[in-house]
Structure 1
Amino acid sequence: MQSLISNMKKFFIITNEHKDMNLAMTNAISDYIIAKGGTCMHYVSTKSGWRERNLRRFQPSDIDAECIIVLGGDGTLVRAARDMASIGIPLIGVNLGTLGYLCELERSTVYDAIDRLFEDRYELETRMLIKGSSQKDGSGKATFALNDIVIHRTGLPQIVNLIVSVNGEYLANYSADGIIISTPTGSTGYSMSAGGPIVDPKADLMLITPINPHSALAKSIVVGSDAVIDVTLAKRRQEEDEEAEVSFDGDRFVHMKVGDNIRIQKADAHAKILKLNQLSFLQILRKKMQEFH
């Protein structure tokens, strides 16, 4: 395998504190890297963001590393890849959870993987990101997502009406629990659970998948990566008191009221994921499906 970084020795670990109790695995990996002559810093992932062990907040630009090792599961790796996309440092995930499609490593393979990273025997894979921006304030401020952006009902247990347009052209009015706009990477996540197709993560497209639609004809739709998708919350009754929320990779919520619109499109930045094995997407998919059953 060819690498893009020579003599990789500077590492950074992001840990899900609920998956690595007392940071036992984190400290063991850090000690191993330092014993091999490398450097390693480690931070903890929390629901409210990232923090150092001494609770000091930090920015991605603070990171001085050639590789980010993410300990947790696919969710932790997704958030890390999204939040670190701006600095361009590649990541590799260690699965400490259950079923995972994105994390390549397990507890038993992590030390061999570090040896290979030191020897620069890896490949680099880029993953598409999407961004969503609220149109109501005109600021155009966008939030990234690696897996998906989900517009879903909130408050009372009732469906919402969502008007979807693509490239300025009306597509459909979905009466549903919500709608998922997914990347290829996210096709094995919430979109799959809602009936959407599984696609190769290296594909260049977006998926529009309704959640529990009130129509048997409402199916997942595939659009090109250059599409601009607008989703507007429409009223269902005279009071116009319907509400919805927008989530980005399962967090970073934005509130929507009737008439509000969110615009979703491909982001300029990419997530960079390191690969060590030669398994194809279909081989990984078969393996994970066998583990699940």
Structure 2
Amino acid sequence: MKVLLVPNYSRPEAMEGASRLAAWLEGEGVELQWAHDKKLFPGRVVSTEGVDLVVSLGGDGTLLRASRIVGYQEIPLLGLSYGHLGFLTAGGPSNMIETVADALAGELHASHRATLDIEVEFELPDGSIESKRSFALNDLSLTHGVRGDMIEFDVAVSGHHIERLRGDGFVVATATGSTGYALAAGGPIVTPEFSGMVCVPVAPHSIRARAFLTAPSDVVEIAISPERHAERLFFSDGQPMDCGPRGVRATVRRGPGDIILLDRSSKSFYQSVSRVFYGENR
């Protein structure tokens, strides 16, 4: 058995917990690997060869980092909460060892979370077009640049044109990401069992523009209008896609593999919704 630890290096309590967990794992004869501090080594790639379980120690942002390391490989991922909300996590400092022991024994519920496969095309200074691909567990978001200019863009689903929109941007989210930026923009909270996409306009300049859901096999395309020159930025799970302010098109489809998120039961999602968004059990 091999475990990869992904701690939030900026939280002393998460690092203390990771060290305590590492000592216990080594005492149990489990092979251990640490993800590096991405702030110190931003370009370094974390190997997942031979890894059977990934454990994140931090908040939901740390878990999203762990999900990017896993990608489409479907290695089970367990989140331990040392953050603010811990919406995606299964345990915390008080029951850390017990939770990890249950995960190693195969006694936790496995929630299959749909992912996104994102391709963004962008214009280089010489006018040529290049593209970049990205994984996402939560969402792709299109936003305006630092000048705050309104963006104009077309949205299509599987070749069917939906609308030309003007506004601050657009979010294409998974069910997991429905409780993130998409929710803040006015979208619905969606059960993890839903495997399509949640599409939400951000501050649209039209009362007709509404959030909508797609089928799992659909492909969402966002094409920037050439008639309105404004800065626009694309983000994958909140991380810039490094295509500068001249992105011209994004194509989003369901990823070829799910994130297998471990939790206590199939009811964990609704318990988290109650706790985080409705104030129950605080």
Question: TM class, shorter-chain normalised?
Answer: 0.7 to 0.9
- What one-letter code is carried by the residue in structure 2 that aligns with 1:272? I
Residue of structure 2 equivalent to 1:5: none
- What one-letter code is carried by the residue in structure 1 that aligns with 2:92? E
Shift of 1:50: 6.4
Matches of 2:70 and 2:109, distance apart in 1:
19
Mean alpha-carbon deviation: is it higher for 163-172 or for 192-201? 163-172
1:230-249 matched pairs, under 5 angstroms:
230-235=221-226, 237=228, 240=229, 242-249=230-237
Shift of 1:115: 2.5
Give the alignment's TM-score, normalised by structure 1. Answer: 0.85
Mean alpha-carbon deviation: is it higher for 144-153 or for 121-130? 121-130
For the aligned residues, what is the CA RMSD?
Answer: 2.5
* Matched-pair contact (CA < 8 Å) for 2:121–2:131: yes
Give the alignment's TM-score, normalised by structure 2. Answer: 0.88
In the alignment, is residue 164 of structure 1 matched against residue 152 of structure 2? Answer: no
Matches of 1:172 and 1:222, distance apart in 2:
15
Q: 1:103 to 1:256 in 2, by over 3 A?
A: same
In the alignment, is residue 227 of structure 1 matched against residue 218 of structure 2? Answer: yes
Shift of 1:46: 2.4
Matches of 2:164 and 2:25, distance apart in 1:
54
SS at match of 2:223: strand
Q: 1:243 to 1:84 in 2, by over 3 A?
A: same
Cα deviation code 1:158-179 (max 9, x no counterpart):
2111111111121111111110
* Matched-pair contact (CA < 8 Å) for 2:14–2:57: no
Cα deviation code 1:231-288 (max 9, x no counterpart):
1111455xx3x12111000004233537x21111111122121223453432331122
- What one-letter code is carried by the residue in structure 2 that aligns with 1:173? R
Among 112, 116, 120, which residue is 1:126 paired with? 112
Matches of 1:103 and 1:42, distance apart in 2:
19
Shift of 1:22: 8.2
In the alignment, is residue 27 of structure 1 matched against residue 27 of structure 2? Answer: no
Q: Is there any run of 5+ residues in structure 2 with no aligned partner, and where?
A: 123-127
Among 194, 206, 214, which residue is 1:203 paired with? 194
* Percent identity of equivalent pairs: 24
Q: 1:47 to 1:161 in 2, by over 3 A?
A: farther
Cα deviation code 1:134-157 (max 9, x no counterpart):
345777652111100001101312
SS at match of 2:35: strand
Residue of structure 2 equivalent to 1:60: 47
Higher strand proportion (structure 1 or 2)? 1
Residue of structure 2 equivalent to 1:262: 250
Q: Is there any run of 5+ residues in structure 1 with no aligned partner, and where?
A: 1-8, 52-56
* Matched-pair contact (CA < 8 Å) for 2:80–2:96: yes
Among 162, 167, 174, which residue is 1:176 paired with? 167
SS at match of 2:191: coil
Matches of 2:53 and 2:110, distance apart in 1:
11
In the alignment, is residue 250 of structure 1 matched against residue 235 of structure 2? Answer: no
